[in-house]
Structure 1
Amino acid sequence: MDPVALQLGAGAPFANVEAYLRRALFFLVAFVVVYLAGKLVVAPLVRRTLDRRGFEAGVTGLADSLVAVLVFFAALAVAFMAAGFPSFLTAAATLGGALALAVGFAAQDLIGNFVAGVFILKDRPFEVGDWIEWDDTAGRVEDIDLRVTRVRTFDNERITVPNGELANNPVTNPVAYDTLRQKFVFGIGYDDDIDEATDCIVEEAEAHAGILDEPAPSVRVEELGDSAVGLQSHFWIEDPDRSDFVRVRSEYVQAVKERFDAEGIDMPYVHRLLTGEVEVLEDVAGD
């Protein structure tokens, strides 16, 4: 056998090992460089941008997670390319696309709630601590997650609401602004003086410390009912909170009721008068 060929054959395994080590080194160096660049440059830059735009902590946390995943896969892709394995990236991309499609079909509702949570955190239709109403349900928001919102009802029950339900349906937020208008209908008798009753309602509103003087309280004739004339009172409350404006309304209604009693103004309730006659038939049995 040729000595030169024998020598080349003996050195071939060492050459293969050297090539594998070189590829491993390229892979490691490329992965570390790209990963550190993403963690130390890209991730802080994204977080500062979101913080500067005033996004909620939930959105910035989501962005941090997404950036971390993207940085990892970018580092992995660059490392495989540096090591000379581009075919691996093609296969991984195909497999990842198929998996993403399957997961997307299987988790449509979950993804929809996730996206809705992002928009709730971004648009801020309500915040933690607000009182909200939707679909005949009401409560105070305790926590806004990326998938669900947790609400404590006024019966001290916790409701876990999917974000999609709150994002795709009308939600009332009575405490979103600095002031809140309230209204209540007082019924007086047809024989009572409407102007006198109106003065009593307005004066009691002006005397209550929790009701604003501006805008001023007002009263309008709302309806002519079966047994009463309905006078609707409009009044405004500053810095509304459920424990405040419910209490203020209750105290105000009680004060008007007591004032009506003192002034002799009737607050009638519905009466029903049944009329008719009863015919009694007596059947006398004869012999």
Structure 2
Amino acid sequence: MGLPQSISSLLPKYAAVGAQLAELLVVSAVVYILGRYLLEPAVAWLFARRDLDPTLTRALQKTLHVGVIVATLAVGAAAAGFGGLLGGSALIVAALTLAVGFAAQDVISNFVAGVFIVQDRNFTIDDWIEWDDKAGFIDDIGFRVTRVRTFDNETITVPNTVLATTPVTNRMSNETLRISYTVGIGYDDDIDEATRILLAAAADHDEILDDPEPSVRVAELGDSAVLLQSRFWIDNPDREEFSETRSEYIRTVKERFDDTGIDLSTTTQHELSGELAVDEPPSSRATDQE
């Protein structure tokens, strides 16, 4: 028994569509493999040879990967004869564009913010940043979010628009960083002697710079203590060096105060702040300068 005439007439059409789909898959697979495993590694090798900024490199590589996917779909559709499928209906195209526009508002705004972040030379991979009482190192800047690794080795996913519109302190954008430490001494203690100890402790530390030179100022007269603020600078700052230098300095000051009998049992106030060097161009994203 033969097939009904209506079905028989449809078979060539189904066969043609099947052939188009097969051609779409084959061509798309070839284009994707060439782009993903030939073009992308070649571009990555070229970037490595030119020693480009890692933040810019990652952004360009991600852009290239998206371009490979778009090219895969476009070339595959064109080769299979599907290139004009949506082009014949302006109404469909307009409706899809409007729907995608509404659905992707946040995505687009985060993408644009990410572009501005990537081109900012004061905002790069591995930088130590602080914003909204949060802090960490930049691990990755994506099209939608920036991933920040906290000091507890947790990962915070931050929308790019947040970092683009919120004041962000970058403590590594310049070559030097100032550390301030405030200590309270008794009213009967010798301010000059305490000042000498604070300056000597800075001068004896290998990581503390001589230029700009350390300084000590009387910061405040508290209810039960005279508050002295010591300021000194470190070079090529990072979180580990920042913490270690501060800790070692405080330890040395405590031991020398004990040796000279300066009273630290009164009310004391410890403040820690980082400030960008005044002789370096300040970051446009830093907000904690005095």
Q: TM-score range by the shorter chain?
A: 0.5 to 0.7
- Residue 73 of structure 1 and its aligned partner are, at CA, apart by 5.8
Say if 2:66 is the partner of 1:65: yes
Say if 2:107 is the partner of 1:96: no
Query: Which stretches in structure 1 are left out of the alignment for 5+ residues?
Result: 1-34, 272-287
Say if 2:243 is the partner of 1:246: yes
List 4+ stretches of structure 1 deviating above 4 A. Answer: 51-55, 70-77
Say if 2:220 is the partner of 1:228: no
- Residue 216 of structure 1 and its aligned partner are, at CA, apart by 0.5
Which residue type is aligned with residue 125 of structure 2? Answer: V
Pick aligned residue for 2:213 from 209, 216, 221:
216
Q: Is the 8 A contact 2:184 2:267 kept in 1?
A: no
Distance 2:232 2:267 in 1: 27
Q: Does the C-alpha gap of structure 1 residues 261 and 243 become closer, same or farther in structure 2, counting only changes over 3 Å?
A: same
Q: What number of residue pairs does the alignment pair up? A: 229
* Alignment-derived partner of residue 191 in structure 1: 188
Distance 1:115 1:162 in 2: 11
Query: CA offsets per residue over residues 84-138 of structure 1, 9 Å max, x none?
Result: x8x97352x4422321211111222122112211221122442221111111011
Q: Is the 8 A contact 1:56 1:122 kept in 2?
A: no
- Secondary structure at the aligned position of 2:87 is classed as helix
* Alignment-derived partner of residue 57 in structure 2: 56
* Alignment-derived partner of residue 254 in structure 2: 257
Identity %: 54
Q: What are the within-5 Å matches in structure 2 for residues 1-287 of structure 1? A: 55-59=56-60, 61-62=62-63, 65-66=66-67, 69=70, 89=87, 91=89, 93-270=90-267
Q: Is the 8 A contact 2:150 2:156 kept in 1?
A: yes
Greater shift after overlay, 94-103 or 171-180?
94-103
Q: Is the 8 A contact 1:187 1:230 kept in 2?
A: yes
Q: Is the 8 A contact 1:59 1:121 kept in 2?
A: no
- Residue 76 of structure 1 and its aligned partner are, at CA, apart by 7.6
* Alignment-derived partner of residue 14 in structure 2: none
- Secondary structure at the aligned position of 1:222 is classed as strand
**TM-score relative to the length of structure 1:** 0.67
Q: Is the 8 A contact 1:227 1:270 kept in 2?
A: yes
- Residue 268 of structure 1 and its aligned partner are, at CA, apart by 3.4
Q: Does the C-alpha gap of structure 1 residues 213 and 130 become closer, same or farther in structure 2, counting only changes over 3 Å?
A: same
**TM-score relative to the length of structure 2:** 0.67
- Secondary structure at the aligned position of 2:219 is classed as strand
Greater shift after overlay, 231-240 or 155-164?
155-164
Distance 2:118 2:244 in 1: 31
Greater shift after overlay, 246-255 or 156-165?
156-165
- Residue 211 of structure 1 and its aligned partner are, at CA, apart by 0.4
Which residue type is aligned with residue 63 of structure 2? Answer: L
Query: Which stretches in structure 2 are left out of the alignment for 5+ residues?
Result: 1-30, 269-290
Larger Rg: 1
* Alignment-derived partner of residue 280 in structure 1: none
